[in-house]
Chain A
Amino acid sequence: MCALCGGLEREPHWTDRLQRDDPDGDGAALWRQSREAQVALVNRILGQDGLEVRDWNGHVFVLSNRTGRSEIVPQLAAVWSAVERLWQCRCDPLDPALVARLEQEDGLEGEPRRGT
Chain B
Amino acid sequence: MLESVRLRYEGCCMMLMSIEEDRGIFLGSAFLVHSKGYALTAAHILPNKAELGLVPAQPAGSFVPLTMEQVTPVPVEVVRRDTEHDVALLKLIPDLGIAVPSHIMGNPAETPLGTTVMSMGFSFAHYRLHSVVSLQATLSAKVLSAHQAHILLFDTPIHPGDAGGPLINARDERIIGVVLGPFAASDLVAESTGSKPDSASSAISQAISIEYGIELMKQEGLDLL
A and B interact physically: no
Residues of B within 8 A of A (CB): none
Residues of A within 8 A of B (CB): none
